[in-house]
Structure 1
Amino acid sequence: MSELAWWQRGVIYQVYPRSFQDSNGDGIGDLAGITSRLPYLAGLGIDAVWLSPIYPSPMADFGYDVADYCDIDPMFGTLGDFKQFADRAHELGLKVLLDFVPNHSSDRHPWFEESRSSRENPKRDWYLWRDPAPDGGPPNNWLSRMGGSAWEWDERTGQYYYHAFLREQPDLNWRNPQVRRAMDDVLRFWLDRGVDGFRVDVLWLLIKDSQFRDNPPNPAYEPGQPEHHRQLQTYTEDQPEVHEIVRSMRATLDEYGERVLIGEIYLPVPQLVRYYGANGDGADMPFNFQLLNAAWNAGEIARMIRDYDSALPVHAWPNW
């Protein structure tokens, strides 16, 4: 057997920057604070530090509403501070992973501000805009994962835009080749700065149905579940074309040597394992969250483990 990659044998430690270590007394954790604690983290025996989002953001969703993919929010520091953090981590033998949030941007991102400025703007198609339904309401029945319709009316241009999460988080149109190139440039920006990999936010949501068909009702819905569970997410998640995007991300990372691609994915196992790629050309670790909702029963947990292990492709590395 060939030697294991670092991420196959390693321990990854997630840091939430806002609350980890404040270096300047403003009450908010920052990159300098994290850097000062790297010897402590290394002493724990970890192999990598994964940072939750540190990009400029209005913080409607604690940094998962990105206003600039290629900079650092001033509350956390500067690109110079990031370089010091990454250099010190590497000196200590630690890898550096970033959260990558490609499904949606902030509504304050310059791309979206251009997109909503007019229907003729060159970036209009960078997001998902649709005409109203005949009754003037939303274009279809898609629901936000934060509650209510996933469509937000824009008075200026007379169309709705789609947001899988908050209305401040419009979804990017990954069917647009310009969006794909721009996001590939983002990956390269951080890889050029020594990043060792990415945890990709909501990877399975990147592509939506090209015909914008209504999602069917979910017969298994029970009161008390999140509102969007009223529907089967047939047309808003896990579309076949998403795997081409994952392969493209993998190919970009491979240009930089051993870099890890981790995908946040909440799907049943038969769908989940497809994100490894047919030939190992997908995500290194599509997250497997089964244990979060497992019944506290040894037999049930054993069944989950057997089913997952038997479904893994021969080239796939398990994760729990």
Structure 2
Amino acid sequence: MPNETPYACLTPDLVLDAITACGLWPDGRLLALNSYENRVWQVGLEEGPPVIAKFYRPGRWSDAAILEEHAFAQELAEAELPVVAPVQFAERTLLHHDGYRYALSPRHGGRAPSLESADQLEWLGRLIARIHSVGARARFAHRGTIDRDTLIAQPMQAVLASSLLPSTLREHYRLAVERVDRLVAVRLEAVSPVRMLRLHGDCHPGNVLWTDIGPHFVDLDDARMGPAVQDLWMLAHDERAMEALLEGYASMRDFDHAELALIPALRAMRQVHYAGWIAARWHDPAFPAAFPFVAEPRWWEQHMTDLHEQADELE
């Protein structure tokens, strides 16, 4: 399968065949869900509710790393946490069909949480604390850590190797990222030692779905080792929201408030990673279609301005 077009062969017929290979009977209804890193489909069945089929991007995670994600999701579900875990078929959650790796999970709908509601934020804080209590039981062996190499060094190299970055901006970009990296290193050292645990890893509002009976968490594709605050800061748009999250969190688990000083570093690392992620995936036709603005010099100029603003905050 060519790396330049990793999903070129993933046709609707192949998706339906993969579902049939699990002993299920699709009724032909397919709905492509919003996902760029992987490909995710809602598949209607002849009997029972639809399922969600997630086809993993070739080459991103090893089988062992994907199985760790599945095991963590199952461990959380067994602890009665509202986390959507993959379904087993013949005692396997990681499935293979025609060169693709995929997993099936139940469909759970919902809406985005209200981040203006203190009650909902406290509820989320309690659930995240319980996720972290389970996450602290063991360590990931294959899924890596939230660190400067993963979120700064590797993305920077992807950008510098890409034609997206105008040649006239290359040195300016390098200096901006190196400044961020230097200040992030200082901040991490100042807050250390930080307790690392298994995290959701990408706990933004789009990965929390709210229903009439409460929230549930989806998409552990970025689960890694990291500090507890990583699963909180993307849900807190201001200090009041963070206070509500922490009030709920503290009712279930102790929180080290020194980790709050990591938020500017984590935010800066995410910004660097975002640009590198797009640059590394630009060969995938879905990315130019979804992010056409990244091909414009003014986007990179603004990106570097944003990085310097993050560096100023760290400084």
TM-score normalised to the size of structure 2?
0.29
TM-score normalised to the size of structure 1?
0.29
Greater length-normalized contact order (CA 8 Å, ≥ 6 residues apart): 2
